[in-house]
Structure 1
Amino acid sequence: MYDYFYGPEGEQFSFIRVPKLFFENEAYRSMSAEAKILYGFLLDRVSVSMKNGWRDEQDRIFIICTIEEIMSKLGCGNKKAIQLLTELEDKIGLIERKRQGLGKPNLIYVKNFIRTVDNTGQRHLWKCQNDTSGNVQITSLEVSKSHGSNTDNNKTDKSYTENPIYPRKEADGMSEHRMYEDYFRDALEYDVLLQDYPYDRETLEGILDLMVDVCCSRREYIRIASDDKSRDVVKSRFMKLSSSHIQYVLQCLHENTTDVRNVKQYLLATLYNAPTTIDSYYRAKVNHDLYGT
């Protein structure tokens, strides 16, 4: 028999994150539940590829995930694994496979689920409205003249190649900063955090601003605990954080007894390390509560 969760134990584990958009928007209504889970698994691999430097000549990130791995992870047969990959590629368009030949596994490009590109090269962003969680629409993004279909100009436009996630400004004037802010407010369940931690409103606002600033940064590296980390790696870490990670960061702040001279650097390090330190923190806390050690 499985035991119950006690205290903070439910927040100890790592999870595969499946975008909420898949369950809230009509465009993904026909997508099977297994395909949504598989996309979450493939998306998790993207950050590993970033660390390994797995990029093609166009700076596009790819992953390697064999049919056998998918069969093992999803507990399905060969036919089902192939069917799900085909659904993601041909029916939904969220992945693209590239054959290597000579018995080598396919390269898989995991497509950005919140951004599309039309025939003219313009990018469009899924924009979640704050007033109703289920109301999602697609909005057009203004594209720089140097970021059109002319590939030669694209290569010389340094401001875009340094930060390919979002263009600088949307057609209606909404800034890149606002786009990231909307994303984090939804992903971190920011309004719920404000309700649960009313006395930490200023700290939560500071954390949100810091995460958005990092994602909008044009710097190649971000200083984390005296080390220079790739901006893309830091951004990837931040965009995978959940409300439980922010709760953990708040607890670290409350329990810290040393003098923090640079709060910004402390928060950057704590946020960046949260996915890898949260498990051991709560495990130690549970052991302390149980055994008083």
Structure 2
Amino acid sequence: MDEKAFLKLPRVLISEPLRSKLSDSAIVLYSYLLSLYELSVKNGERFRDKNGRYYVVCPISTVMRLLNCCNNKAESVYMQLENQNLISRKRQGLGKANLIYVNPIVESTVTYAKNALDQCDNIDSENAKITSAEMEKTHTIKNDYYQKDLNNIYPSIRYEDVIEDIRNQIEYDVLSERDYGGVLDEIVNLIADTVTSDAQAVRINQIYIPIDKVRWRFGQLTAEHIEYVISSLEKNTTEIRNMRAYLLTALYNSIDTLDTAALYGA
């Protein structure tokens, strides 16, 4: 990673009325998506749809790492940008990441005062500083994050509540409308069994991994990851002797493999 790289922050994002409608995280994410959009334009046809519109790929798991947050907050930040018509997302399904269209900030995109852009030029430099603790966390992701924020990922105590939390997290109602058979419920139960386990470590792909780290990664799972795992299972042509172990490894690894697949069009 280029240490000299930086994000462009459109000044209109930190002026009214947008400033009062967007969190610091939403401002950072829009700036990040804007930088990805510029890369998409440079790459030409690769990130251009059939209608000629450029798009970017930025899965929820990437946003979680960027903002150092859990799944629910990452989705909430995306919703802020959508509510202000700064972005639009197109669901692809089948384990593929959403296509994200970054909309320009113009009067037709959100409602501005007539002199909004002029006011931006006169913003006091002190007002343009973002000093919240949340902004500071976006620059440094601590290794022990999963230990501190674990309770925010799975706050429930009862097993039934954990099942419900997981279903909400992965958009179970949407996934259940597809012909996945019993594998979807098997995955939900596997995740619940794992995150409620009293074991100190979980064996994944022949390696014992601390249970807290596994819980944290499972807290990042989205509908896209579940679709990706099921799609990979359907494409598998080798004999699976231990389905539970296979799914456990696939779920754990999907956090990284889905990002890679999205970037390289796999």
Structure 1-normalised TM-score? Answer: 0.45
Greater fraction strand: 1
